[in-house]
Structure 1
């Protein structure tokens, strides 16, 4: 059973969750802020959480190897996706998961996920903090990246209280984590591919001076993107910038 802490305003839910993790007392928990002033996104980018949006971080100590930690981004994305299903009309057509950690609605960012890890004393265990930012009432302005809020998709969904969403998400995340623990990651990867943004498009991945063009085939055991290149080879992409081109012709 997770512990829930709700704050009117915080600098960063991720920072408080890391503090709780470092003072671990054996119980996992959530930190939710109704307003966030100095949130942290991917690659250290700042993320200001406006009132009415969902900003939460879950902390836990898990029996996993650090190499498996990136899998949690995909586990969490699937949980958020399923939690949002009742709120988003035509979910399977309109909502997609973009590698490695964003959820999009018609190509616009709706949710971002950040997984951080901490070493703990127990061998074979790892401290994990999962941060989730979901645009509920208002979509932030991001340069070069269109965004959307739940309120723009569904007026009723936009009025949903973040605390209510937290309890819904906790149940979904517990369920997907349980599945992840019992099944091979390939099962999670298959579910992710069905919901992946760009799976029906030609993609180009830029890593340094190199460029791979092809189609998304899936994920490897560490969450890297597998792209079948135009050279017929499968390339494993663990970083870099992914761009998306035209859709493949049906049957291609």
Structure 2
């Protein structure tokens, strides 16, 4: 199997599409968190920067939850991207990133679905997660650092540590890593450039076509407390989850709430 030590910035760049040619690519064997690394450097970054690590010792997901990983079992990277508009124009960005990752996976023969607001599912279980963190830029724009963790393998010991069922794509782990990263970066660069110009609205239909729980009964939780329940009806042009309830159609902003199937 290709090891993380084989990751090489020049090899990744060589496989990237023209639209990603301006992205600086950094490869490290190990770090605490690629998101934290880039957030600490936003003020000095010359342009879009991808940082990928073979292992993260302090990776994290939404709401500060830890991202548990094992070297060579996961693909973990962060992409710092400068957006010209103010922060409120980044509403829906995690969902657009999900579209980019899912479409890339599909092109590689791995059909996946999206779970609102920031997960990729395969066979009903979590395959990948997305974390977007932002920092104001001096020019009035915003730096977004987009962290992605994708399960390539799932050793039994790691799944026990995570404590819940997750999914992985063992055959994708056999793919040459530089080529895989280049495919993901190329699609992401195109999607982020489009999002910077248009916002989430043009991605709405693409996201809804990949919606894992369309038409299913779901519940919205906040720190374990039930906030709402209803039938999932996709997302709107702002990336808000649409719920059909007894009181009519409700829009739910992501924040730190969690989405679950009603029976879970």
Normalising by structure 1, we get a TM-score of 0.84
Change (3 A) 1:143 1:10: closer
Structure 2 residue 57 is matched with structure 1 residue 37: yes
Contact 1:225-1:237 within 8 A present in 2 as well: yes
How far off is 1:143 after superposition? 5.0
Which structure 2 residues correspond to residues 1-252 of structure 1 after superposition, within 5 A? 1-25=22-46, 27-52=47-72, 53-89=74-110, 91=111, 95-123=112-140, 125-138=141-154, 140-141=158-159, 145-151=164-170, 155=171, 157-183=172-198, 185-207=200-222, 211-239=227-255, 240-245=257-262
Contact 2:91-2:200 within 8 A present in 1 as well: no
Change (3 A) 1:146 1:210: closer
How far off is 1:122 after superposition? 1.0
Matching residue of 1:250: none
Distance in 2 (CA, whole Å) between partners of 1:183 and 1:60 is: 16
Runs of at least 5 residues in structure 2 that lack an aligned partner in the other structure: 1-21
> Using CA pairs below 8 Å that are at least 6 residues apart, which structure has the higher relative contact order?
2
* Count of residue pairs the alignment pairs up: 236
Runs of at least 5 residues in structure 1 that lack an aligned partner in the other structure: 247-252
Q: Residue 47 of structure 1: SS of its match in structure 2?
A: coil
More displaced stretch, 237-246 vs 183-192: 237-246
Alpha-carbon deviations, 1:99-124, whole Å to 9, x = none? 1101010111110000000012112x
Distance in 2 (CA, whole Å) between partners of 1:203 and 1:163 is: 38
How far off is 1:232 after superposition? 2.3
Matching residue of 1:249: none
Contact 1:114-1:132 within 8 A present in 2 as well: yes
Distance in 1 (CA, whole Å) between partners of 2:220 and 2:104 is: 30
Change (3 A) 1:16 1:238: closer
Change (3 A) 1:241 1:59: closer
Change (3 A) 1:219 1:243: same
Normalising by structure 2, we get a TM-score of 0.80
Matching residue of 2:14: none
